[in-house]
Structure 1
Amino acid sequence: MDRRALILSGLAAALAGAGGAHAQSFERRREVPSDLRPRIVRISGPGPGEIHVVPRDFALYWTLGDGNAIRYACGIGRPGLYQAGTFYVGDKRKWPRWTPTPGMIAREPEIYAKWRNGMPGGPGNPLGARALYLYRPGGGDSFLRIHGSPDPGGLGREVSNGCARLMNEHVIALYDQVPLRTTVVLHPKG
C-alpha cells in the first residue's frame, strides 16, 4: 500500500466517523450544516502533512498531498488577537487543562480571573476534547492552540483569543492524524 492509499484510507475512516458512531450520532443530534462538516478539497501549493488556517475561509486545511486536503470549518481569533505566522505542533493533549493567559485576564477579568490557576480538562473546558499546542520555530510555546469546542456556533466567526477552534469531533480526527513537529501556517487576514 503506498502512502497516498494509506492516508486516504485513514481519511475515509476519519470522515466517516471522526471517532466512530458517537461522532456520527452527535452530528445528527446537533444538526450540523453540511458546509461545516469536514470534506476533501483540491488545493494548490502546500505539500503533504501541513496545517494551514485561512482566515478569509474560516477554514483549517490538513494537506494530504496530490493537491488534496481535508477542510475543517473553524473559528479564528477576534480582531487584534489573531496572529499570522509559521508555527509547529510542539505538544498535543487529550482533554487538556486550560489556563487563561495574563493578557486574557487583563482584557476581561470578569470572565477569566477566576481561572487564573487553571481549569481541569473536561467537557466544560474551553480547549475542548483535544488541543494542538503551537510553538514558534527557534522560540517556545506561542500560547496559540488548535482546539475543540462542543459548540458549532463559533465556527465561521472571529470568536477566540487567537486560537483556531474546531468542533470536538473534528479536532479528535485531526489530533489522531497530526504528528508532533507538523508545520502550521496561520495565514494573514485579508
Structure 2
Amino acid sequence: MGRRGFLAGLSALAVSGCVATPKPEAPKVVEPPKPRRVVPPMYYAMPNERFPIPEVDVSHLEERWWRKDVDYPTSERKGTLIVDTPNRYLYHVTGPNRATRYGIGVGRDGFSWAGRAIMAYRREWPRWTPPNEMVARRPELEPYSIANGGMPPGLRNPLGARALYIHLNGRDTLYRIHGTPEPWSIGKAVSSGCIRLINQDVIHLHDNVRDGSPIVVIPDPKMQHLLVS
C-alpha cells in the first residue's frame, strides 16, 4: 500500500471511529422508596385481647384522626362525651378546657342523629343485634336478628372490641359508640347512625369513661338528623 492509501485509510478509521462512538446515556433517576409511616405505640397490635387485635395500618388513617390530648374550651363538666359530627371528632372532657380527642366515623345521611343523652353502660367484645328496621332493609342480616340472638363477638363483629350504649330517659336509643377494624372509615359518614372509633381507640375510651356519663352530639347541618332530645 502506498503512502497516499495508508493516510486515506487512517483518515477513514478516524472518521468512522467518531461516527460509531455511542452517545453516553444519561444516568437513570431512581426514585427512593417512600418512607413507611411510623406506627405510634398507641396503635400497636394488642395480642392479649380476647380476640388479638392487629396493628393499625396507619397508611389508611390520616394523622389528623390519631388520638390526642388537646386544649378544648367547653362549659361541659369533666367526663362528658362530646361528638363533633361535622368535624368527625369525639372529645372526652378530662379537665378544665382539656380533652382527649378521637377521630371517628359517623352516621351516613339519613341515619345520623344529634342531641343530649347518657352513656348508660359499656361492654367488652359485645354481641351485635341489628334492630328489626335494619333487618327489614337488609334481609341477609336475619341470622343475626334479635330473635336469633345476634352475632357473636369477634374481629368481624360490626361493634368491634368495645361498645358504649346510649340511653335517653332510661330507654335504649339503639345508638352506640363502638370499635371498628377499618381505619379507612374514620373521618367518613359510613355507619347506620352509630359512632365508630378504631379498636385501639375505643378500648382506650372504654377504660377511661364512666357509666352514666353525659353525651352531647353536635348536629351536622349538611345532614338530616334524628334529634334525640
Give me the TM-score of the superposition, normalised by structure 2. Answer: 0.69
AA paired with 2:63? S
Partner of 2:155: 123
The CA deviation at 1:66 is 2.0
| Structure 2 unpaired stretches of 5+ | 1-39, 47-53, 222-229
The CA deviation at 1:153 is 1.5
Report whether the alignment pairs 1:169 with 2:193. no
By percentage of residues, which structure has more helix?
A: 1
- The structure showing larger relative contact order (alpha-carbon pairs under 8 Å, at least 6 residues apart) is 1
Query: Equivalent of 2:136, from 100, 106, 109?
Result: 106
Map 1:127-142 → 2, pairs under 5 A: 127-136=159-168, 138-142=169-173
Partner of 1:35: 64
AA paired with 1:115? Y
Partner of 1:184: 215
AA paired with 1:160? S
Partner of 2:179: 148
Secondary structure of 2:181 counterpart = coil
Name the larger-Rg structure.
2
AA paired with 2:102? Y
Contact conserved, 2:123 with 2:164, CA < 8 A, in 1? yes
Partner of 1:74: 104
Give me the TM-score of the superposition, normalised by structure 1. Answer: 0.83
Partner of 1:62: 92
| Structure 1 unpaired stretches of 5+ | 1-14
